[in-house]
Chain A
Amino acid sequence: MTEAFPVDSVGLVKPFVERFDEPLVLSGGDSLPSFELMVETYGELNADASNAVLICHALSGSHHAAGKYHVEDRKPGWWDLIIGPGKPIDTDRFYVVSLNNLGGCDGSTGPSAINPATGRPWGPDFPQVQVSDWVRSQKRLAERLGIDRWAAVVGGSLGGMQALQWAVDYPEAVAHCIVLASAPGLTAQNIAFNEIARHAIVSDPEWSQGHYQMAGKIPARGLALARMVGHLTYMSADGMSDRFGRELREGSFERDGNAEVVFQVESYLRYQGSQFSTRFDANTYVLMTRALDYFDIAQRFDGDLTATMAATQAQFLVLSFSSDWRFSPARSREIVDAALAAGRPVTYAEIETDEGHDAFLLDVPGYVPLLKAYMSRVGSNDHEAQGH
Chain B
Amino acid sequence: MRLDLTHIKQWIPRNSKVLDLGCGDGEFLRRLRDEQGVRGTGIEIDVTQLTAAVGRGLDVLQQDLDAGLPNFPDSSFDVVVMAHALQALHHPHRALENVVRIGREAIVTFPNFGHWRCRLHLGLIGQMPVSRVMPYSWYDTPNIHFCTVKDFKTLCDQLDIEILAQDVVGVDQRDTWLARLWPNLFAVTAIFRIRRRQG
Q: Give A contacts to B, CB under 8 Å.
A: 315, 333, 336-337, 340-341, 343, 345-352, 366, 369-370, 373-374, 376-377, 382-383, 386-387
Contacts and interface: CB of A to CB of B under 8 A. Distances in A.
Given A347-B54, A374-B54, A315 B71 contact: no
A341 B72 CA distance: 7
B71 A370 contact: no
A345 B59 contact: yes
Contact of A349 (B47, B71, B72): B47
Contacts of A374: 54
B57 A340 contact: no
Closest 9 CB pairs of A and B: A373-B55, A337-B71, A349-B62, A383-B57, A373-B54, A377-B57, A370-B51, A366-B47, A348-B61
B126 interface: no
Interface in B9-62: 33, 39, 41, 47-48, 50-52, 54-55, 57-62
Looking at chain A's contact residues, the main secondary structure is: mixed
Contacts of A345: 41, 59
B73 interface: yes
A145 B128 CA distance: 67
A374 B58 CA distance: 9
A336 B71 contact: yes
Interface residues of B, number: 21
A351 B47 contact: yes
B57 A382 contact: yes
Contacts of B48: 366
Contact of A366 (B39, B51, B61, B73): B51
Contacts of B57: 376-377, 382-383, 386
6 contacts: A315-B59, A337-B71, A370-B51, A376-B57, A386-B57, A387-B59
A369 B51 contact: yes
Given A383-B57, A386-B57, 12 more contacts: A333-B71, A340-B76, A341-B71, A343-B76, A347-B59, A347-B60, A348-B61, A348-B62, A366-B51, A369-B51, A382-B57, A386-B59
B43 to A, nearest CB: 10
Contacts of A366: 47-48, 51
Contacts of B71: 333, 336-337, 340-341
A333 B48 CA distance: 20
Contacts of A370: 47, 50-51, 54
Contacts of B51: 366, 369-370, 373
A343 to B, nearest CB: 7
Name the residue in B48, B60, B61, B76 with the highest tally of chain A Cβ atoms < 10 Å from its Cβ: B61
Interface of B: 33, 39, 41, 47-48, 50-52, 54-55, 57-63, 71-73, 76
B35 to A, nearest CB: 14
A73 to B, nearest CB: 32
B118 to A, nearest CB: 36
A16 to B, nearest CB: 35
A388 to B, nearest CB: 9
B47 A352 contact: yes
Nearest to B55: A373
A177 to B, nearest CB: 13
Nearest to A343: B76
A351 B52 CA distance: 15
A269 B61 CA distance: 37
B63 to A, nearest CB: 8
Contact of A340 (B33, B39, B52, B73): B73
A358 B125 CA distance: 56
B61 A336 contact: yes
A332 to B, nearest CB: 11
B55 A346 contact: no
A154 to B, nearest CB: 15
A386 B54 contact: no
Contacts of B55: 373, 376
A72 B60 CA distance: 42
Nearest to B72: A340
A60 B155 CA distance: 56
Contacts of A382: 57
Contacts of A315: 59
B157 to A, nearest CB: 31
B22 to A, nearest CB: 15
Nearest to A350: B62
Contacts of B60: 347-349
B126 to A, nearest CB: 41
Contacts of B33: 383, 386
A373 B48 CA distance: 11
A336 B43 CA distance: 13
A349 B50 contact: yes
Nearest to A333: B71
Contacts of B63: 348
A340 B102 CA distance: 12
